[in-house]
Homo-oligomer: A and B are copies of this chain.
Amino acid sequence: MARRKPRPAIREENERALIEAAERVFADEGFRGATTAEIARRAGVPKANLHYYFPTKDKLYRSVIERVLTAWLAAASSFDMSDDPRLALTAYIGAKMDLARSMPLATRIWSAEMMRGAPMIQDFLDTTLSEWVRSRERVVKGWIAAGRLKAIEPRFLFYMIWATTQQYANAAHEMATLNGGRPLDDKAFERAKSETIEIILRGVAAG
Chain A interface (Cβ < 8 Å from any Cβ of B): 28-33, 108, 111-112, 114-118, 122, 125-126, 129-130, 133, 150, 152-153, 155-157, 159-160, 162-164, 166-168, 170-171, 173-175, 177-178, 191-192, 195-196, 198-205
Contacts and interface: CB of A to CB of B under 8 A. Distances in A.
Copies in the complex: 2
9 contacts: A30-B33, A111-B170, A112-B112, A115-B171, A118-B173, A163-B163, A163-B171, A202-B202, A202-B204
Closest 5 pairs between A and B when the two form their complex, measured CB to CB: A32-B33, A199-B203, A203-B203, A163-B167, A30-B30
A117 B172 CA distance: 8
Contact of A198 (B31, B164, B203): B203
Contacts of A125: 174, 177-178
Contacts of A166: 163
Given A30-B31, A115-B170, A156-B192, 9 more contacts: A30-B112, A108-B115, A111-B170, A117-B173, A118-B174, A129-B177, A156-B195, A159-B175, A202-B204
Most buried by B among A115, A191, A202: A115
A171 B159 contact: yes
A58 to B, nearest CB: 14
A199 B164 CA distance: 13
Interface SS, A side = helix
A173 B166 CA distance: 17
A192 to B, nearest CB: 5
B203 A114 contact: no
Nearest to A124: B177
Contacts of A156: 191-192, 195-196, 199
